[in-house]
Amino acid sequence: MALASAAYKDALANNPANFTPGFPAFLGLCLIDGVLSTKVADPADMGLIEAIGEFGINSDPTKPEWNVIDKFVGHPKFQEAQGSLLNDANTSWRPNCGDQFFFWVGANEHAIM
């Protein structure tokens, strides 16, 4: 969590009080969903657009909110934190967990935890 917090602080350039209410939840979801976090690199990805829409986030890369998301998931400390959560054999909830958001392949066949 310390690594994720450091990545967030480094990525934050604007006052998060002006961000959508779903913003923190989306960041958390990115942290535990490797597929979703890689989709952030392409704001035009239809799966990503659908996902962020459920959190009320605009994928316009000129928006301050999107800039923070992009910097957060691209930060080396985020990558390390995510790797620790998803790939560490000592993580008790990891077995059979996989990616949480894109659980099934195909349009509209996903479930949010």
Tens-place pLDDT, residues 5-50 = 888 888 887 677 788 899 999 999 898 888 888 898 888 888 888 8
Global confidence as pTM: 0.74
Cα-trace Rg, the chain: 14
The predicted structure's pLDDT at residue 104: 44
CB atoms within 10 A of CB 67: 16
Q: At what angle are helices 64-74 and 76-87 packed, to 10 degrees?
A: 60
For the ranges 29-43, 69-83, 98-112, the lowest mean pLDDT is seen at: 98-112
H or E element at residue 24: helix 23-32
43 exposure class (CB count in 10 Å sphere: 0-12, 13-18, 19+): middle
Break the chain into its structural domains and give their ranges. 2-87
Residue 102: pLDDT over 60: no
